Structure 1
Amino acid sequence: MLDLTVRFLAWVLWLCTPPPRGRHRLGIRTSSLAPPPPRHTERLDGAASALVRPYVLTPDERRRQRERRRAVYLATPGIDVGPHPHLIHGGVR
């Protein structure tokens, strides 16, 4: 009885699942296929790349970035800072 149940379940699964596709499907040997070609065959030239990382900032660039970040942080509660805090929207106070 167990054998009939297993066969029935195998038959139902065979009906419900799609047939396997691709190179590794069951029952088919594909040993005549050539292996895929290598993806990267040439070597990279280290001398052609820049030695300075683009994200490394000079001290002056770092200071200006810190000033901009501080101005944005203080602008959220409404505090106006910058090189000319007395000039608001182009007008003189």
Structure 2
Amino acid sequence: MLDLIVRALAWVLNTFLPTPPGRHRAGNTPPPHIVPPPPRFTERLDGAASALVRPYVLTPHERRHQRARRRALCLAALGTDTGPSHIHGVRVGAAR
């Protein structure tokens, strides 16, 4: 009885849902799409046209500000507020 139900269900599914073409199915398969390699870079770079200043090199003034920001972040992680004394031109007092 179970075999009859399985065969009937398989027939109904094959009737209403045709099998999709897949990789392992027999049939016409299109040829594989081959991507050509990208063209090689043949031009020479002009070293005089590029800037010789490295963008990550900081001036002493920028280094001082970066150190102050890192110190404030480290102290804030410990619970100490070292925020600016002026915010939008208004003097900010210490929290009490």
Query: Scaled by the length of structure 1, what TM-score is found?
Result: 0.50
Structure 2 CA distance for partners of 1:53 and 1:69, relative to 1, 3 Å: same
- For residues 34-45 of structure 1, the aligned pairs below 5 Å read 39-45=40-46
Percent of counterpart pairs with the same letter?
Answer: 69
**Mapping of residues 6-85 of structure 1, within 5 Å:** 39-84=40-85
Q: CA deviation at 1:41?
A: 0.6
How far does residue 38 in structure 1 lie from its aligned partner after superposition? 5.7
Alignment root-mean-square deviation, CA: 3.7
User: For residues 78 and 37 of structure 1, what CA distance do their matches in structure 2 show?
Assistant: 55
How far 1:50 moved relative to its partner?
Answer: 0.8
How many Å apart are 1:48 and its aligned residue?
A: 1.1
Matched to 1:66, the amino acid is: R
Question: CA 1:47 to 1:63, structure 2 compared with 1: closer, same or farther past 3 Å?
Answer: same
Deviations along 1:21-60, one digit per CA (max 9) or x if unpaired, are 8xxxxxxxxxxxxxx7861110001011111000000000
TM-score w.r.t. length of structure 2: 0.49
Structure 1 CA distance, aligned partners of 2:38 and 2:65?
50
Alignment size in residue pairs:
69
Unaligned runs of 5+ in 1: 1-20, 22-35
The 1-side partners of 2:66 and 2:43 are apart by 40
